Amino acid sequence: MAPQTETPRIPEIADETDVMREQLEYLIEHAAEADECDCSECRRYLRVRAILLEIFGEPQQAKVQEMAPQLVKAA
């Protein structure tokens, strides 16, 4: 009688969002524990943080005359 072999199990493809969230949590925990020790993981955390917070940066200065038509439309 031939020995029974199990069929290899192929893991499901991970959801990208879950993987990114897990990586972000890992980087946050590492940076908090290491107090930004300047290792490759801390530098990676700082790059990711800068990208994610980029939207909250200071708006570029514009002349009031250039902004006035846009402000009127918004009102």
Residue 74 has what DSSP assignment? H
Tens digits of pLDDT across the chain (75 residues): 566 778 888 888 989 999 999 999 999 999 999 876 889 999 999 999 999 999 888 766 656 666 666 666 655
pTM for the structure as a whole: 0.57
Segments making up each domain of the chain, as ranges: 16-57
The DSSP H or E segment spanning 42 is: helix 40-53
For the chain, strand residue ranges (E) read none
Q: What's the pLDDT at 57? A: 83
3-class DSSP state of 2? coil
